[in-house]
Amino acid sequence: MSLRCRRCDSEFVFTASQQREAFEVRKAYIWQQRTLCAQCWRQRLALTDELRRLQSQWRAQRATLKRDFSALRRWRELLRQLPFYGCRQDVAQIAMLERLLSAEHRRDTGSG
């Protein structure tokens, strides 16, 4: 049975070996249905790995990262991409990043 990717709309097959990996190795819930093709799944894993790295960096170097507007913009963009991969959007983190980035805007425009 072929499935359709929720992100790129391509048709794909969830093979027996992929099912074994998902359900026996990674211990996914049996009632979960694959919604992403292999390529989009790899992109989602890369996205969530980068988000974990940024969150870890935030915990360790908050004061420095607050002033790294490039990293903050990247973090916000990654969070905005999550819903396209079937994840819930983290509205609280996006709001936090928006507040931090508004400080950059105030600094650049001289208002404050």
- Give residue-wise pLDDT tens across range 7-60: 999 998 888 888 778 777 777 766 667 789 989 999 999 999 999 999 999 999
Q: What is the pLDDT of residues 54-93, one digit of tens each?
A: 999 999 999 999 989 999 999 999 999 999 998 999 999 9
12: helix, coil or strand? Answer: strand
DSSP letter string, 23-92: IIIS---TT----S-HHHHHHHHHHHHHHHHHHHHHHH-HHHHTT-HHHHHHHHHHHHHGGGGTPPP-HH
Check residues 67 and 109 and name the one with the higher pLDDT.
Answer: 67
Task: Judge contact between 12 and 42, C-beta under 8 A.
Answer: no
Residue 44: its pLDDT value, please?
Answer: 95
CA distance 6 to 33: 11
pTM assigned to the model: 0.77
Q: Which two tokens stand for residue 55?
A: 């969150």
